[in-house]
Structure 1
Amino acid sequence: MTEIPLTDKQFCALLTTRLAALPYVHAVALGGSRATGTHAPDSDWDLAVYYRGPFSPDHLREIGWSGAVSEIGAWGGVFNGGAWLTIDSRSVDIHYRDLDVVEHEIAEACQGRFHWEPLMFHLAGIPSYLLLAELAINQVLQGQLPRPQYPQPLRATAQSFWRDRATLTLRYARNAYAERGQAIEVAGALATAGMQTAHAVLAARGEWVTNEKQLLHRAGLRELDGMIAGLRPEPEALRRTLSGAQELLRSAENSRRPDADRSGAANPPPTQPDQRPSAE
């Protein structure tokens, strides 16, 4: 007898029920393209479990889903761990989110403070306010979570931070790589500086960023593709490309959309709970 596969709605309900039942989990949220409605039929499922207290990944392992489950802290700091699973022939990523850390980063961001961390697969690394970005974008499936606006103080400090990083990245590329005709290293620096500048552009607009997948496109920096494709291992050519890239990045920062202030114009209390109904 052929087993009938679960519909997406049934699958999401199954995941939510099992994850919400884990000890110390207070809320479950859907993230990624499925939260924003931009997913394809075969897109991964991204879910976050928000816990408070001594949450143990062993409880997640005990469910018996196929895949790898990390320890707390194995993936980094604020992005502190999770699981890559296959469930009902679907790819599922689960992220751990410590509510004590989340609340601390909300308070910090409201004062314009944050810190930077490296994270695998992210050229520019991540800011600690990523936790707020997730809350602002994700769909709450179970429990209640804050729905932060973009704090005005954060817009200024984040823009300055990322702009300075991009400037230093290009300066180092010119002095350390271009002079030696090292095209690959220059390409890496251009990609990194592009991501850093894109962070600055979107911070100035008050637009949240959760990953780098569409970051250059959103910031209007896809011209970097052609610059990188045309690199030659010649010092003078590399210097010219770096100068052109610097102008492109500066232009992107200086051009803000007319509606750029919409996200930060009004800042209700950032710990205001999400009033939207949980998904069934």
Structure 2
Amino acid sequence: MATDQAHIARITAALANIRGITCVVLGGSRAVGGATTTSDIDIGVYYEPDILDLHALNQAVTALDDTHRVDLLASPGAWGNWVNGGAWLHMDGTAVDILLRDRTRVLQACIEAQQGTLHAHYQPGHPHAFMNVMYAGELAVCRVLWSDDETLVTQKMALQKYPVALQNAMIAFFGFEAAFSAGLAEKYAKSGDTYYVRAHIMRSIGALNQVLCGLNRQYCINEKRATARIAMYPIRPLDYKKRVDALVCCPRDTDACAALSTLIREVSELCDAHTGSLAVV
């Protein structure tokens, strides 16, 4: 059985010279650390949309797959507008996720990250939102396996320093959302409309996660395991993950709202101490 490094080398060789592909990268936990023996291999494929050879890419993916399944490739747009295509396959039983990224849109997102321009989008698989600047974060933290794209690599280097404008925007944008959503949850906590209340509580927690990522100048590229990552950041409320987990499982809406309000106030104090201000419920 081949090693993961051998799988990654084989994937890179198979994708590198397909027309329209400009860069192949390793992403996810295997790029940033924290991977386990069961972690997927996440491969980012940056492409030129007008010339990408989808047929050749589909053939390459089929050849890499353990059972050589056909039509594994989801073309751009099939999975949504942001996580917009790719393939799920297995190599010696190891799950491999190939994710397509339109390089033109990624480069625009890099500019927006440097400017602190944020916009949120609905995307299956992202319970809070997919942020435009997640594209920039992915590029910043990935490990380049092969590239014929000097512009993309230059942008990656520029993003190694977390932009101050992005930090300010993350705190302001999501600080407002955390407080606003928590306020709505509290307003209706005694109404018996538990779905509505809990949905706002989850939005508020998602926003707090983004605030804490920005405060620590860490790119948030996925909501998965976000609270576990934040638990390792130097600037955070004490026992943040444990308290979020308890809050989510709290049986009474009113008690959950009270616990959330306390967390928001603590994050506000951290923001005041380290940078600017955060709206408070």
Aligned counterparts, 1:130-149, within 5 A: 130-143=134-147, 145=153, 146-147=156-157, 148=159, 149=161
Tell which has more relative contact order, 1 or 2 (C-alpha 8 A, sep 6+): 1
Residue 51 to residue 231, structure 1, CA distance change in 2 (3 Å): same
Deviation of 1:20 (Å)? 1.2
Of the candidates 102, 108, 128, which is equivalent to residue 104 of structure 1?
108
Q: Kindly, what percent of the aligned residue pairs are identical?
A: 26
Indicate conservation of the 8 Å contact 1:24/1:52, yes or no: yes
**SS of residue matched to 2:72:** strand
Equivalent residue number for residue 250 of structure 2: 230
Q: What is the root-mean-square deviation in Å for CA atoms of aligned residues?
A: 2.3
Of the candidates 202, 205, 213, which is equivalent to residue 213 of structure 2?
202
Greater share of helix residues, 1 or 2?
A: 2
Of the candidates 88, 110, 121, which is equivalent to residue 92 of structure 2?
88
Indicate conservation of the 8 Å contact 2:179/2:264, yes or no: no
Equivalent residue number for residue 61 of structure 1: 58
The structure 1 segments of at least 4 consecutive aligned residues displaced by more than 4 Å after TM superposition are none
Residue 9 to residue 216, structure 1, CA distance change in 2 (3 Å): closer
Q: Distance in 2 between matches of 1:230 and 1:90?
A: 36
Deviation of 1:106 (Å)? 1.3
Deviation of 1:185 (Å)? 4.0
Of the candidates 65, 74, 94, which is equivalent to residue 70 of structure 1?
74
Deviation of 1:56 (Å)? 4.3
Q: Distance in 2 between matches of 1:255 and 1:212?
A: 21
Residue 57 to residue 250, structure 1, CA distance change in 2 (3 Å): farther
Residue 230 to residue 108, structure 1, CA distance change in 2 (3 Å): closer
2:62 aligned with 1:42, yes or no?
no
With the length of structure 2 as denominator, give the TM-score of the two structures: 0.81
Q: Distance in 1 between matches of 2:85 and 2:73?
A: 8
Deviation of 1:18 (Å)? 0.7
Aligned counterparts, 1:124-135, within 5 A: 124-135=128-139
Q: Distance in 2 between matches of 1:175 and 1:68?
A: 47
CA-to-aligned-CA distance 1:52-111 (integer Å, 9 cap, x gap): 242243332222233732121222333322211123322110111111111111112222
Q: Tell me which amino acid in the other structure corresponds to 2:163.
A: P
Equivalent residue number for residue 162 of structure 1: 174
2:176 aligned with 1:172, yes or no?
no
Deviation of 1:251 (Å)? 0.6
Q: Tell me which amino acid in the other structure corresponds to 2:225.
A: Q
Of the candidates 189, 192, 198, which is equivalent to residue 181 of structure 1?
192
CA-to-aligned-CA distance 1:168-191 (integer Å, 9 cap, x gap): 222222334x23223344333322
Q: Tell me which amino acid in the other structure corresponds to 1:108.
A: E
**SS of residue matched to 1:46:** strand
Indicate conservation of the 8 Å contact 1:105/1:114, yes or no: no
Any stretches of 5+ residues in structure 1 without a counterpart? 233-237, 262-280
Equivalent residue number for residue 270 of structure 1: none
Residue 254 to residue 122, structure 1, CA distance change in 2 (3 Å): farther
Q: Tell me which amino acid in the other structure corresponds to 2:96.
A: V
Deviation of 1:35 (Å)? 0.8
Indicate conservation of the 8 Å contact 2:82/2:123, yes or no: no
Q: Tell me which amino acid in the other structure corresponds to 1:27.
A: C
**How many residues end up aligned between the 2 structures?**
250
With the length of structure 1 as denominator, give the TM-score of the two structures: 0.81
Indicate conservation of the 8 Å contact 1:118/1:126, yes or no: yes
CA-to-aligned-CA distance 1:26-47 (integer Å, 9 cap, x gap): 1100011111232112211100
Deviation of 1:215 (Å)? 1.7
Q: Distance in 1 between matches of 2:58 and 2:269?
A: 49
Deviation of 1:239 (Å)? 3.0
